[in-house]
Chains A and B, each alone.
Chain A
Amino acid sequence: MSILVNKDSRVIVQGFTGKEGSFHASQMIEYGTQLVGGVTPNKGGSLHMERPVFNTVSDAVKTTRANVSVIFVPPAFAADAIMEAADAGVEVIICITEGIPIKDMIYVKSYIDDRNVTLIGPNCPGVITPGECKVGIMPGFIHNPGKIGIVSRSGTLTYEAVDQVTKQGMGQSTCVGIGGDPIIGSTHLDIVKLFNEDPNTEGIVMIGEIGGSNEEIAAEWLHDNATKPVVGFIAGRTAPPGRRMGHAGAIISGGKGTASAKMDVMEACGIHVVDTPAAIGLTMAKALGAKV
């Protein structure tokens, strides 16, 4: 078991024939993902990487029965691409694109809220269920099938956690990069709920950063509902207020969204909070050991 994607997921790539789309599509195919085709307007009917290219997501879904889409289109067209996928009935939409204007994402969020669809991202590394399905830009080889669910707002910091968990011999059920933007499709709360229900996930690693209040909201829910140990880390304790730290959503504004405040809430909610990411793997191993 796993969450969001697995060996039966039928994946299409939006922006299939572009440079980024092509490169990562080939990596996904190599990993064993069931990549059934792609979409690039005006290139429909052709083949790319031995897979069919469609003009619209709707055509792609009808022909390939795809239920997952990964988006690599440039920021100016990405909001449109997400809504097209939602309209076509794709169940899980994963948007890698960084740099989508806030106003566009406000419309996207409202559009998908009215439909039965899960959006991951934008501005994220994607989702991987090790050994089954990789949908995104993460390096496949650092992952191992296992029992830890990982959710994070960043890319390389997630890989760091994955690597440690792998080296502790635990492996991952699914890893979800939810993205570094102020408006994202799925929050920490949405993902920890899925991990909590997933019988194959025995522990959860929740990685956050400064800005917003998503980590606190998830922590409070976990306090009342968690059935498995949770290890948490927040990046940005040394970040100055009022500055955007790389990610559009990583900003302390009006004194709100500091790392210390988030860590305090998480700690109070029973999460094993570590003060350096170097301790994520070991802390999880101990937390699971103590439980057995």
Chain B
Amino acid sequence: MKLHEYQAKEIIKGYGVPIQNGVVAEKVEDAVAAAKTLYDDPEGKFFVVKAQIHAGGRGKGTVTETGAKGVIVAKGIAGVKEAAEGILGGTLVTIQNEATGGSKVNKIFIGEDMYYPGESERKEYYLSITLDRETGRDVIIASSEGGMNIEEVAEHSPEKIVKEWIDPSVGFQAFQARKIAYGLGLSGTAFKNGVKFITNLYKAYQGTDADMLEINPMFKTADDKIIAVDCKLSIDGNALYRHKDFEGLRDKAEEDALEVEASEFDLNYIKLDGNVGCMVNGAGLAMATMDMIKLSGGDPANFLDVGGGANAVTVEKGFRIILKDPNVKAILVNIFGGIVRCDRVANGVVEAYKNIGEIPVPIIVRLQGTNAELGAKIIDESGLKVTSATTLAQAAARVKEALS
């Protein structure tokens, strides 16, 4: 489960990680009122106004309606008002969400200016914690190139990246925090603050069952404080049962409306932008079916794994969700019946079809496994606009026919 920057910052603050202070607002007037609370004398002071959407790349992203950037440094209350007007309610398109048409901005974060001048050099760093799948351990990745995309840094200057793996039998060690802080070139007070920052950040990662926690940039102020200017936090969905307090943090407005509806039916559905819908049992076979649709000259309109219980109720829900997508020109149902028998699935398809009434697109039902022939017979004799197939190759050919 992905969280917004403001939610993530509040959580890590609870673990003793210093953050850039700020407030959240949903309306321009609230933003103005909130900004006034950040400084005793706000006029002439700088603020940073940031769109709260899940996608990254906000600073370089643009709000379609106004042309404003997703992150704005504003001067004084008038500046905050102008920035809020430019961002709130608009559609922010960044490099990470342009494929899905951008995200509507419902909230902004107004933060205090941390880039004030002073004796020490101001500098941005990168710090993240995630699972390293190859070793099966958590890894902390740090870089002196803050504010940059870490994949690019890894490609162009890998020597600027420091990595520390955590041994689960003893946990994160103090020497590892020192190694990272030295590796980033921190010294003096900033070093001490850095060690504390890294140590507490790992506690936050552990304590929240995160699968990714990224601070970019982690910032050294002109008075040697180390603070989180941005924060991305994602919680392991399988561990949410241990964190009832996070229940209210899911933002359904960030998700595709059809996906939200499908999740309420307990369907594992992902919306794509193709023209052939599909309903499959098993995630691997579902992906393979999408690939097959592509090879047949179509494009998959969705991923949908109905799991082991491919009965009439599930199939009907699946059809209803798929049919809400106006791009769908055909639907391929691909079931490998193991424990679930194909004749029961076929009856489920027929029943679901009749319950829905008229389905305007051709449906191809490929059944293989237990009682496959009986299933095909039920489909063929149903009198409905449904075609049966037994092998994968046949199913692919039927999809091709349906599209031509």
Contacts and interface: CB of A to CB of B under 8 A. Distances in A.
Contacts of B231: none
Interface in B234-287: 236-239, 241-242, 268, 270, 272, 274, 280-287
A235 B287 contact: yes
Contact of B368 (A138, A141, A160): A160
B99 A246 contact: no
A102 B239 contact: yes
Contacts, number: 166
B136 A278 contact: no
Contact of A159 (B168, B293, B338): B338
Nearest to B286: A246
A201 interface: no
A160 B336 contact: yes
A249 B396 CA distance: 27
B133 interface: yes
Given A142-B338, A207-B284, A240-B272, A249 B206 contact: no
Q: Taking each of A101, A254, A275, which has the highest tally of chain B beta carbons within 10 Å of its own beta carbon? A: A101
Interface string A99-113: 111110111011000
Contacts of A246: 268, 282-284, 286-287, 303, 305
Contact of A103 (B99, B206, B287): B206
Interface size, A (range) = 35 or more
Contact of B137 (A106, A142, A159): A106
A277 B300 contact: no
Given A100-B238, A209-B284, A240-B99, A142 B369 contact: yes
A154 B285 contact: yes
Given A233-B288, A276-B396, A154 B209 contact: no
A141 B372 CA distance: 13
Contact of A163 (B239, B241, B272, B369): B369
Nearest to B166: A106
Contacts of A138: 338
5 contacts: A154-B282, A158-B284, A213-B133, A238-B287, A276-B396
Interface of A: 27, 75-76, 99-103, 105-107, 109-110, 137-139, 141-142, 152-160, 163, 180, 182-183, 207, 209-213, 217, 233, 235-240, 242-243, 245-250, 254-255, 259, 275-278
